[in-house]
Amino acid sequence: MKKIVIGITGASGIRYALKIIDVLKRECDLCVIYTRAARLVMMDEEGIDISEIKERHGDVKFYDESDFSCKYASGSQRPDAVIVCPCSAATLSSVANGLSSNLLERVCDVALKEGVKLILVFRETPLNLIHIENMKKVAMAGGIILPACPGFYNKPKSVEDMVDFVVAKTLKRIGIDSELLKPWEGDNKS
């Protein structure tokens, strides 16, 4: 069973993280780390508190950003992947510059130093040069930048279809195929 850490920050797009949890909870050992800002955005965007998410997913381990008791704060414990979704500009900056001022930043720092797959699902637009430079730093250190940019070749009919697109692309990067997105098959002319 894959061990996956999901970090939720205060960027818009909490729905992506909730979908990832829903998909992975059946087949992975999940650890969710949420920031204070994530709690605020979750209430604003989805009208739910983290306590409701914890109740719905009783078998998932949840950690507040200030709780360093999470085993993945140590390099001696290796998850198979760390996904930060959505990833705020502040978290991107902290990861790019090696800060470990909260649990999520520490887990990302450990992932990079231990060679664990780190995926930052960045959710900000437009980008400024600082964002781009920070993305470059993370990529050069071994992380993967996966902007939350839904495609339209799958002809989405709902917001959920667009969420599924980004989630499917994220899961693919950690080696998990899902049925959320039908692969593009090219030109159907015969």
Whether residue 35 is annotated as binding a ligand: the answer is yes
Whether residue 12 is annotated as binding a ligand: the answer is yes
157 phi/psi in degrees, rounded to 5: -110, -5
Whether residue 2 is annotated as binding a ligand: the answer is no
Whether residue 89 is annotated as binding a ligand: the answer is yes
Cis peptide before 150 (omega within 30 of 0): no
Whether residue 90 is annotated as binding a ligand: the answer is yes
* Burial zone of 14 (CB within 10 Å; 0-12 exposed, 13-18 middle, 19+ buried): buried
Whether residue 96 is annotated as binding a ligand: the answer is no
Whether residue 91 is annotated as binding a ligand: the answer is yes
Whether residue 158 is annotated as binding a ligand: the answer is no
Q: Which among 137, 132, 147 is positioned nearest to 109, based on CA atoms?
A: 137
Which two tokens mark 13? 């797009």
In DSSP notation, 6-17 reads: EEE-SSS-HHHH
Whether residue 169 is annotated as binding a ligand: the answer is yes
Whether residue 100 is annotated as binding a ligand: the answer is no
Whether residue 9 is annotated as binding a ligand: the answer is no
Name residue, tokens 């991107």: 92
- The annotated binding site for dimethylallyl phosphate is made up of 153, 169
- The annotated binding site is made up of 10-12, 35, 88-91, 123, 153, 169
